[in-house]
Amino acid sequence: MAKVEHIKKLKATIQKHKLDAPESFWECSDEQLAEIYNGAGPEQLGKYGRAKLTKFLEMFEAAFLIHDFEFENSDGSKAELALANERMWKNMCKLVFGLCNWRNYTQWGKIVAYLALAFGAYQVCTWFGYLFW
C-alpha cells in the first residue's frame, strides 16, 4: 500500500503533465488510490521485486497509478487491458516529453533512451499483462 502523501505527489504529476485518466479516477479518494497502487509490476513479482522495478521506472509512476486504477476497476476483459495499456503508453510518452526538451538536440539521446524504456514497459504489459489481468 502506498502512502497518501505519495499518491498526492503522483496526482500532482498527472495534472502537471496533463496525463489521460478515466473520469472515475478523479472521483476516487487519495486513500482509495493508496490502497490500489502497488507500483510497477504484478503482485506475483513480490514486494521486493516491485519496489526495485518501481524505483527503476520511477519517472513513469504517475502513469502506473492510472494503470493500477484501471486494473482494479476493469471487467477483466482483454479489450480493457488493451485500452489501459494504450493509455499507459501515451501517458509515459507525455511524461518523457514533459521532462525533456525535444527542441534541444543535446537531449535527443535521453529522449530516445526514455522512450525505449517506456516502450519496453508497454510491451511487457501487452505481451504478459493478461496473465495477471
pLDDT tens, position by position, 71-108: 888 888 888 889 999 999 999 999 999 988 888 888 89
User: What's the rounded mean pLDDT across residues 104-124?
Assistant: 90
Please give, one letter per residue, the 3-state secondary structure of 45-56: HHHHHHHHHHHH
pLDDT tens, position by position, 26-79: 998 999 999 998 888 877 878 888 889 888 889 999 999 999 999 888 888 888
**Higher per-residue confidence, 19 vs 71:** 19
Residue in the structure block whose three cell numbers are 504484478? 42
Q: What is the pLDDT of residue 105?
A: 85
Which residues contact residue 15 at a Cβ distance below 8 angstroms, ignoring those fewer than 6 apart?
Answer: none
Decide if pLDDT at 9 tops 90. yes
The pTM for the full model equals 0.88
Which residues contact residue 31 at a Cβ distance below 8 angstroms, ignoring those fewer than 6 apart?
Answer: 4
> Is residue 20 within 8 Å of residue 87, measured between CB atoms?
yes
How many other CB atoms are found less than 10 A from the CB of residue 111? 17
